[in-house]
């Protein structure tokens, strides 16, 4: 039986439903915030001044266009990237517990970002774009790639990839990265320390239009490259030996997808810090809805990830208003019980 025959629901129908849900979530997100702005004014503020026939105060327009809309769009991009990376990692490693956060990839990427902030933080005042588009993403990518390779090497033996070994390796990598972050905190100045606090808890508060360019460029690139490898990922679900018999260069595919996943996680960490469990939860939701076929699963996972992180960010903004709770706290509160449920479900298999 082919992988594609496991589809559980029409992909197009689910995708349309997801787009409608995302549309209403975007409208709600733009209207939510510490400043009381009506839904109608929020919608009017999204329209260019030359095209609208309603006068909107300048401060409302600035809040919507420069704060809430960029934050909303960044939540969509980061959630989609994390969901794509989690889906690919679970397909690549053929286990349901693979997630950039749990196996230490996010921790490694965060350590790389922290190193860039401490080493090059003084440049942020005079050249902020250099930090945003240069050193932080590059260092995050290097940290994420190194941890991914280490975890994969430690978790793979003669009998294939061991879920238990990957989890233990992830714990070890996370502990090492945590000690490294502690060292960065010790040597950081006040400004760098504030930035590090933001990164380690995960926050979308620093969203701006420059960050969105990087986020959506990464999202589009990753989706295209991942989607091109959907059939090889489907073949891997049958086992590495079967995939090799089908003519797939398994090791080459693994290297490519590991590097792409590390790049995606590195960008999300650079822009929003450590946001966990999106990459763990979303692939399971997608498979429950449409099955394991990656040609259908990847676009649906991207949509669910965007919607889930956007909802989590709205909760973060309203739960302790007017304070702004880091969105990483909300995703952890949602994801940790889900992970425990997964461990219970997988008991006896790992």
Q: Which residues, 6 or more positions from 172, have their beta carbon under 8 angstroms from its beta carbon?
A: 104
Confidence of residue 129 (pLDDT cuts 50, 70, 90): low
Residue with the bigger pLDDT between 346 and 292: it is: 292
* pLDDT for 62: 92
Question: Would residue 83 count as lying in a domain?
Answer: yes
Q: What token pair was written down for 327?
A: 């969105």
Structural domain contains residue 240: yes
Residue 4 lies in a domain: no
Residue 11: pLDDT over 60: yes
Output 202 or 1, whichever has higher pLDDT.
202
Structural domain includes residue 6 = no
Q: What is the DSSP letter of 54?
A: S
Give the pLDDT band of residue 131 (cuts 50, 70, 90): low
In DSSP terms, 156 is beta-bridged to 161
Looking at the predicted structure, is the pLDDT value of residue 209 above 60?
Answer: yes
Asked whether residue 152 is domain-assigned, the answer is: yes
317 within domain boundaries: yes
The pLDDT mean for the chain works out to: 85
Entry pTM: 0.87
- In a 10 Å sphere around its CB, with 0-12 CB exposed, 13-18 middle and 19+ buried, how is residue 187 labelled? exposed
Q: Determine the angle formed by the axes of helices 250-272 and 136-155, rounding to 10 degrees.
A: 140
Task: Name the H helices within the chain.
Answer: 11-31, 39-46, 58-63, 69-93, 105-120, 128-130, 136-155, 163-187, 190-201, 209-228, 230-236, 240-245, 250-272, 278-290, 294-318, 327-346
Q: Give the domain range for residue 206.
A: 11-348
CATH code of the domain covering residue 319 = 1.10.3470.10
The total number of structural domains in the chain stands at: 1
Domain-located, residue 2: no
CA angle 241, 170, 266 (to 5 degrees): 90
Q: Please say if the pLDDT value at position 235 is more than 90.
A: yes
Please, is 33 exposed, middle or buried when counting C-beta atoms within 10 Å of its C-beta (0-12, 13-18, 19+)?
buried
| Residue 3 covered by a domain | no
Look at residue 166 and tell me whether its pLDDT is greater than 60.
Answer: yes
pLDDT score, position 1: 42
The mean pLDDT value for 217-238 works out to 96
């Amino acid at each position: 039986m082919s992988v594609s025959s496991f589809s559980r629901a029409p992909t197009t129908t689910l995708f349309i439903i997801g787009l409608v849900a995302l549309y209403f979530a975007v409208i709600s997100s733009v209207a939510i915030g510490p400043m009381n702005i009506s839904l109608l004014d929020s919608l009017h503020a999204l329209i260019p001044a030359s095209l609208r026939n309603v006068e909107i105060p300048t401060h409302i327009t600035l809040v919507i266009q420069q704060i809430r809309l960029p934050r909303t769009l960044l939540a969509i991009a980061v959630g989609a990237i994390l969901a794509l990376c989690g889906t690919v990692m679970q397909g690549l490693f053929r286990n349901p517990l693979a997630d950039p956060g749990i196996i230490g990839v996010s921790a490694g990427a965060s350590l790389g970002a922290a190193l860039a902030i401490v080493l090059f933080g003084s440049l942020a005042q005079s050249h902020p774009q250099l930090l945003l588009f240069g050193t932080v993403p590059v260092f995050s990518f290097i940290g994420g790639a190194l941890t991914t390779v280490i975890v994969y090497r430690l978790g793979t033996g003669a009998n294939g990839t061991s879920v238990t070994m990957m989890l233990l390796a992830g714990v070890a990598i996370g502990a090492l990265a945590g000690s490294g972050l502690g060292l960065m905190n010790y040597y950081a100045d006040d400004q760098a320390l504030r930035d590090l606090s933001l990164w380690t808890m995960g926050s979308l508060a620093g969203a701006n239009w420059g960050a969105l360019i990087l986020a959506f460029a990464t999202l589009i690139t990753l989706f295209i490259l991942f989607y091109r490898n959907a059939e090889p990922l489907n073949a891997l679900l049958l086992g590495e030996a079967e995939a090799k018999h089908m003519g797939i260069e398994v090791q080459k595919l693994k290297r490519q997808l590991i590097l792409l996943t590390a790049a995606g996680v590195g960008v999300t960490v650079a822009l929003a810090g450590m946001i966990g469990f999106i990459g763990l939860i979303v692939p399971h939701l997608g498979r429950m809805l449409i099955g394991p076929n990656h040609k259908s699963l990847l676009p649906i996972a991207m949509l669910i990830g965007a919607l889930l992180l956007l909802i989590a960010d709205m909760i973060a903004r309203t739960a302790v208003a007017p304070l702004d709770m880091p969105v990483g706290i909300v995703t952890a509160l949602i994801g940790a019980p889900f992970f425990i449920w997964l461990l219970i479900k997988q008991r006896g298999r790992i």
